[in-house]
Chain A
Amino acid sequence: MENRITDIGPPHYAQFFPPVIKKNYGKWKSHEIVQPGVIKYTSETGDVVYAVRVGCARLITTDLVREVCEIADKYCDGYVRWTTRNNIEFHVTDEEKLRALLDDLKGRKFPNGSYKFPVGGTGASVTNIVHTQGWVHCHTPAIDASGVVKAVMDELFDYFGSHKLPAQVRIALACCLNMCGAVHCSDIAILGIHRKPPLVEDDRLEHVCEIPLVVAACPLGAIKPATVEIEGKKKKTVRVNVDRCMFCGNCYTMCPAMPLADGEGDGIAILVGGKISNRISPPKFSKLVIPYIPNEPPRWPTTVKWVKKILETYAQHARKYERLGEWAERIGWERFFELCEIPFTEKSIDDYRLAYDTYRTSLHFKFTSHVEPM
């Protein structure tokens, strides 16, 4: 404890700025994406910088970071940055270095052939999937994260390194309803869900949980205190009204004696049409279109298939600049289901709070294959 120092905060950002960034801070005038993954910025001073964006798994090793350092040393005087979507960006100031860097990146592969540093993620592309911890590191997930992302990105790889879509498509994954990965406003969201109510470990609960907190944790009021007798001893515990439970896992968060993970029951829901940016239309929430897909490690083929199907249907039908959710709203969600060939089920009709906001209260709908005259 001697000489301990605390609360020094993060390193000051400016010490990690490349000289060209420091010099032109606040003076940038314009930019151009010269090829997918390469953005050229021009300053009022006339200076130019090329940012080369490369994909990266979020879960990496120090050896990979060292390789990033080696590249940064060789071409960028040691400077490098990460983006909010876990991409890596290298910055160079002249075209010759840019070509050399791009060549170099192309040649770097992992032993089994995957690219270490694929270039892309700009413009009308699918950029890196933001995701959470999954089975690699969290205690509440219904699904894995890194594995699902790898499987989906392998299939969509071509859309990462090209500008073929009507607008950018942001994909996000969260492995449980806590949504650490922030999927509620993504164009396509992959969300891990539980489908069985929590187990209650009567013999352990009172020792590891605070019952009033557990009761209060349930957003549906489904949990009540109870007392049971085990081997002649009275034990304080809880009971779950399973008809009211919507499997959010919040009780487990408060109480380790109420696990709900289940290999057979858990799986994936797909939500679509969310966005963050204010561009043209306001930020929107993603909407649930596929309530459940089974968990299929190691490559989650059904999830991959649906993500690709939605993406490509959108790419085929949407107008230039139109985000996925804007497209779905323009054509109507009933048409969205028809075009994407997604079965519409009762589960897509909201029955949680404020559900009324989503009911149709006008005659402004389209006749699609769903309508059978009565």
Chain B
Amino acid sequence: MADIKKHDTPMVDELKSGPWPSFVDDIYSYAEKHQKQACFDLMGQLELSYKHKETHWKHGGIVGVFGYGGGVIGRYSDQQDKFPAIWAFHTIRVNQPASKWYHSSALRKLCDMWDHRGSGMLNTHGSTGDLVLLGTVTEQLEPIFYDLTHQMNMDLGGSGSNLRTPSCCVGKARCEWSCIDTQALTYDLTMTYQDELHRPAFPYKFKFKISGCPNDCVAAIARADLSIIGTWIDDIRIDQEAVRAYVGGELKPNAGAHSDRDWGPFDIQKEVIDLCPTQCMYWDEKEKKLYINNKECNRCMHCINVMPEALRPGTDTGATILMGAKAPILEGAQLSTVIVPFMRLEPPYDNLKELIEKTWDFWMENGKNRERLGELIQRVGLNRFIVDVLGLKPIPQHVREPRSNPYVFWKEEEVEGGWQRDVAEFRKRHPA
């Protein structure tokens, strides 16, 4: 093992103190125990960044494993003389198991491999969802890939202009509200679209995120080109006995989420009925009974969140499919837009896949280089996208409100007599 050169890192060292877990202490402990030069050098370079207030990573560097277009992000230091152990420091995105459950036997194998072939540092997890291995050199990429696939039954995730690793909330594994099987769907889509995940063919990135209910714990609506959010189309289930227990103070509202502050006794009128955005609930104080006009409910989840023992989503479940979320660059931030208000999702999910593939076909043909789906929809118009591209019926659920300008693009075939007119005939009626 090469000699360990330590860099003084007085500023970075200040982050060792304080109660929140210190990544600096973690990394230095590891570096000393395993005599890992890459860790010392990373902290050294970070110190230099703290001094210059600028990053010291070079732009770009295309590297990867054979036959894959994504999953590895090249990274090189611009201070290679000072920090030789991180002169190359590539990121590996490892496709996480759906909703990020692990067993220690699998994690230990991964750790052993990563001590041996990489920096020993990782991100749990990257924002996209992948388990991210942080920092290795080009020669190690193939061996890492070999070890991952052969020893661990793991594969790379996505990066670049391809499908990014789909991710989902904990769903039915632990949450009573999940209206769809988020893990099964995530796994199925991931397996079905391995090619799109690993071999970029798209104009730009494409993300699937799947939440089991409108609480949207994976932020699907803000983060995915195609957001799948579980919901129900029938009535909220009510256990009147339990409602009375909340009113009587035997059960803690919102499952105990407000336990450290005295908000006074629970008041169903103030905390549930009056906050219902559609005003579709009614508490009959005499009868001690809760009524919900389910036809008016917009399924915001508030009442269910407040009284989880008493209220549950309905049993006729599926998902709302939305499209087009993206971060601000280039055309400003967008949230996903409702495309299909309700879709039943049962394996093999052919209805969803048909929609996905229609969307991709159009995007791949018409999207400009680095144009996200949301930007393309803006460019062609949501109405054209829904009607002409997807062949769906326009319905009021697609918009928050109808347009307020009357500048409608009529097509020639929609107008009686077409657009071809004879100006001589016109002038016969209207002399100039």
Contacts and interface: CB of A to CB of B under 8 A. Distances in A.
Nearest to A157: B19
B430 interface: no
Interface stretch (B91-99, B344-352, B401-409, B416-424): B91-99
Given A26-B178, A72-B103, A84-B169, 15 more contacts: A13-B187, A21-B101, A21-B173, A51-B174, A60-B23, A86-B125, A110-B29, A118-B21, A134-B55, A163-B258, A178-B329, A219-B329, A261-B54, A279-B305, A352-B332
B49 A256 contact: no
B216 A283 contact: yes
Contact of A33 (B154, B186, B259): B259
Interface string B328-368: 11111101000000000000000000000000000000001
B277 A61 contact: no
B146 A280 contact: no
Interface of A: 1, 3-17, 21, 25-26, 28-36, 39, 41, 49, 51, 55-66, 68-70, 72-73, 78-84, 86, 88, 110-118, 122-124, 130, 132-141, 144, 146-147, 150-151, 153-154, 157, 160, 162-165, 168, 174, 177-182, 184-185, 213, 216-217, 219, 248, 250, 252, 256, 259, 261-264, 266, 276-281, 283, 285, 295, 297-299, 320-321, 352-354
Contacts, number: 416
B8 interface: no
A297 B54 CA distance: 11
B22 A150 contact: yes
B234 interface: no
Interface string B14-53: 1111111111111101100110000100100010011011
Interface stretch (B286-294, B296-304, B387-395): B296-304
B214 interface: yes
A338 to B, nearest CB: 24
A197 B227 CA distance: 35
A234 B138 CA distance: 36
B399 interface: no
A286 to B, nearest CB: 9
A78 B106 CA distance: 10
A7 B198 CA distance: 8
Nearest to A12: B187
Given A114-B18, A137-B134, A138-B57, A182 B223 contact: yes
A154 B299 CA distance: 37
B101 A79 contact: yes
B283 interface: no
Nearest to A131: B127
Nearest to A179: B327
Contacts of B96: 10
Given A178-B329, A298-B15, A9 B25 contact: no
A321 B274 CA distance: 12
B122 A130 contact: no
B154 A10 contact: yes
Interface string B124-135: 110101000011
A123 B222 contact: no
Interface residues of B, number: 137
A11 B215 contact: no
B53 A114 contact: no
A61 B134 CA distance: 10
A21 B97 CA distance: 15
Residue with the highest number of chain A CB atoms closer than 10 Å, among B104, B153, B181: B104
B161 interface: no
A79 B155 contact: no
B181 A31 contact: no
A354 B328 CA distance: 13
The 8 lowest CB-CB distance pairs between A and B, nearest first, are A123-B257, A154-B18, A69-B104, A256-B59, A263-B53, A110-B25, A62-B111, A135-B49
A11 B97 contact: yes
Nearest to B123: A58
Contact of B22 (A36, A110, A182): A110
11 contacts: A9-B95, A11-B153, A13-B101, A28-B176, A66-B108, A114-B19, A124-B254, A133-B123, A144-B50, A184-B222, A256-B60
B123 A12 contact: no
Contact of B330 (A180, A250, A277): A250
A62 B67 contact: no
Residue with the highest number of chain A CB atoms closer than 10 Å, among B12, B54, B55, B173: B55
B300 A150 contact: no
A261 B52 CA distance: 10
Contacts of B17: 112-114, 154
B119 to A, nearest CB: 9
Contact of B98 (A13, A162, A174, A298): A13
A276 B100 contact: no
Given A8-B155, A79-B101, A279-B301, A59 B121 contact: yes
Contacts of A66: 107-108, 111
A239 B154 CA distance: 46
Contact of A64 (B26, B42, B175, B260): B26
